[in-house]
Structure 1
């Protein structure tokens, strides 16, 4: 399920989801399906205590949470790149910055950034295990983060955006196209589950294997081939080092030419 599918924290909220939502409580629903669920949900963290105000500040992460068939939380991944000025505010920990945004802008709190590119593991019926990384929403635009998932052993990507902020076909399509590059760069399948954007499956060559039309309800089933750790691309291994070296070489050449030109003019 996509980013922030659950409004209440999935971790740190006890047995709340035993009886919520009232019409079809989450945990009994998961047990009934007898399978694993990856769900976008808040995760409560240890509150911060201020000696000055003698108050605790509640903290939470925007996360992808993995439930086992018993409804237990196995592991979660906290979003490392929250959207600036929407999910996070620069220098939020500085008191006067926080007070300004709370008083004049109406922003009362922000998400805490995650700091660990978690790789999830789920056992399969044949006894093997599938591992996957979960870039949340526009984290699919961060190639460095996505290659880290693969270097940590992920066999594929499961991307869970919440694109309901836009009702424009162009914006939704642009986000989907950006995500495709992560599949190509790392030679891994990309499974994408969204609330309003493009839900689909992308092959390691950037081809859309299956998708649901924009703004339409639906579901997809597909058998995804897995690629092992040994099948890593040059980009997965070395990242942006090669283009950085090219930029350094180009800059060095331009400096050399400029110095040579100035020296030539001075000799005249």
Structure 2
């Protein structure tokens, strides 16, 4: 009998874990991390080009699948998963919000290098939902939860809770195709995110592992939104045809940023709006919309008292009614408002913008920092609540500026029972970039969520009529002076499940995530 060294057996799982901490033979940890980052970035590019203005919609289904490939390995650490998710979100936002660089060059006088640096900081911040999603999924995958289940859950949760300056979610990539996003009336953007991510990741898993059962799941998850969407589009179109209509005229004056703020051109700008309004009224419109801050000087916050200002609108053959954007002021307060003006000169309602843009429209903490008060003005005051303005026999749900991007704000506005939604915006700051196209695409989802027609009156475009199905009935080109007539349907049906109940998907998925995490932790060997 020969002497030897007794070597204890190591279970397979432990051996894999031990190798993973040091790097698997032939593939060091650094190589694995680089591959994960590259796959994540490729996934982000696929998601980005699916949206406007490129609209390669099908590629979005490859995005979550590539991110899953990056992290679907028990040896991938949460730190590497975080980097892969950050790469995905960074590339996605660098493509979709590349307009931030020329905007900073044009209006903040940033040199190109500084513009890119600030833009990169914004893209890093915008990448947070994807980074958090991958980081949350990694521990579940390490404990044996399949990546095609873990990642869609965390992508949906992170997309709902992570803050973003310019809201960009996975599911809105399907907005150009319209059919898939009809689920938004049931569960809002979280439900679309979940359906897209789950179908994408399940399909990739089935292809890699030749798993027929998961392939069936993937097929059902992808097919169901399309089937539901096709049915609902037909049903909503029938409802619209049976509903009363209102002929709404929209003015797109196309005034540049510097031109718009030139005090010597205020009278000319007001005449331009009146001339375009008169032409629309000659076509038989029943209501005219002017964009955000289109009245060229401040009005009293109680504009009914300013007979002179009202007279400057309803003159030169302009009859009204008109719903227009204006900056208003009260003692010590300024507001970004939308005002309804009836034919007889009566103010029918006023809505003050609730969600102001930090630093652009107000200075955070101004009231609490006296030194700051000596340097800059406070800015605008927040409105107190979502608003519906009655005018021309309709109840108009007003979304001022970028409020048409804010899902919860639009939901609460729709809960007030508007006949249709109207957005009043000035996108001149973005220049001739992809931003106006992206803004319009994101806004279109509000029509699906609420099942109300949406009219957008945008100073430099894109303006248009979005049907309650999310389809464009007509839209203008950006940076042209034009006007159009929209045949809006006044829908008064019951609120959608999304409007009535809000986001039930995210809390449910958060519960599932915690249950899986705790169950795997309790079941793990000591």
Specify if TM > 0.5.
Answer: yes
Partner SS, residue 179 of structure 1: helix
User: Does 2:333 align with 1:44?
Assistant: no
Structure of larger gyration radius: 2
Matches for 1:194-233 after TM superposition, within 5 Å: 194-230=458-494, 232-233=495-496
1:121 aligns with 2:396: no
Counterpart of 2:207?
A: none
- SS of the equivalent of 2:391 reads strand
RMSD of aligned residue pairs (Cα, Å): 1.9
SS in 2 for 1:193: strand
Correspondence for 2:420 = 156
1:65 matches 2:350: no
Structure 2 unmatched runs, 5+? 1-289
Q: Please tell me whether residue 76 in structure 1 is matched to residue 76 in structure 2.
A: no
Aligned residue number for residue 28 of structure 1: 315
Would you say 1:241 and 2:504 are equivalent positions? yes
Aligned to 1:11: 300
Residue from 390, 399, 410 that aligns with 1:135: 399
Residues 79 and 247 (structure 1), Cα distance of their counterparts in 2 relative to 1, 3 Å cut: same
Q: Does the C-alpha gap of structure 1 residues 252 and 96 become closer, same or farther in structure 2, counting only changes over 3 Å?
A: farther
| Distance of 2:347 and 2:299 partners within structure 1 | 8
Deviation at 1:165, TM superposition (A): 0.7
How far is 1:18 from its partner? 5.7
Equivalent-residue separation in structure 2 for 1:160 and 1:205 (angstroms):
20
Contact 1:35 1:68 in 2 (8 A): yes
The secondary structure found in structure 2 opposite 1:77 is strand
- The structure that is helix-richer by fraction is 2
- Equivalents in 2 of 1:85, 1:164: separation in Å? 18
Structure 1 residues 226 and 97, CA gap change in structure 2 (3 angstroms): farther
User: Which stretch of the first structure deviates more once superposed, 10-19 or 180-189?
Assistant: 10-19
Question: Is residue 11–residue 73 contact of structure 1 (8 Å, CA) maintained in 2?
Answer: no
Is 1:87 matched with 2:376?
no
The whole-number CA distance in structure 1 between the counterparts of 2:355 and 2:371 is 20
Deviation at 1:247, TM superposition (A): 2.2
| Preserved CA contact (<8 Å) 1:28 1:71 | no
Deviates more, 1:215-224 or 1:241-250: 241-250
Q: Do residues 96 (structure 1) and 381 (structure 2) align?
A: no
Asked whether the equivalents of residues 298 and 326 of structure 2 are also in contact (C-alpha less than 8 Å), the reply is yes
User: Is residue 109 from structure 1 mapped to residue 382 from structure 2 by the alignment?
Assistant: no
CA distance in structure 2 between the partners assigned to 1:89 and 1:215 by the alignment: 30
Higher relative contact order (CA 8 A, sep 6+): 2
Higher strand share: 1
Secondary structure in 2 matching 1:222: strand
Aligned to 1:169: 433
Deviation digits for residues 48-100 of structure 1 (CA, Å, limit 9, x no counterpart):
xxxxxxxxxx211101111111223221001011111110121121133633x
Q: For 2:470 and 2:310, how far apart are their aligned partners in 1?
A: 40
Could you tell me how far apart the structure 2 residues matched to 1:110 and 1:83 are? 10
Return the offset for 1:181: 0.9
User: 1:171, CA displacement in angstroms?
Assistant: 0.8
Give the SS at the match of 1:235: helix
Corresponding position of 1:187: 451
* Whole-Å separation in 1 of the counterparts to 2:523 and 2:367: 50
Gaps of 5+ in 1: 20-24, 48-57, 124-128
TM-score (normalised: structure 1): 0.81
TM-score, with length taken from structure 2: 0.42
In the TM superposition, residue 215 of structure 1 has moved relative to its aligned partner by 0.6
In the aligned structure 1, how far is the partner of 2:379 from the partner of 2:390?
29
Q: CA contact under 8 A between 1:17 and 1:27: conserved in structure 2?
A: no
Measured against aligned partners, the alpha-carbon deviations of 1:190-241 in whole angstroms (never above 9, x if no partner) come to 10001113011111121111111111111111221222142x2211111112
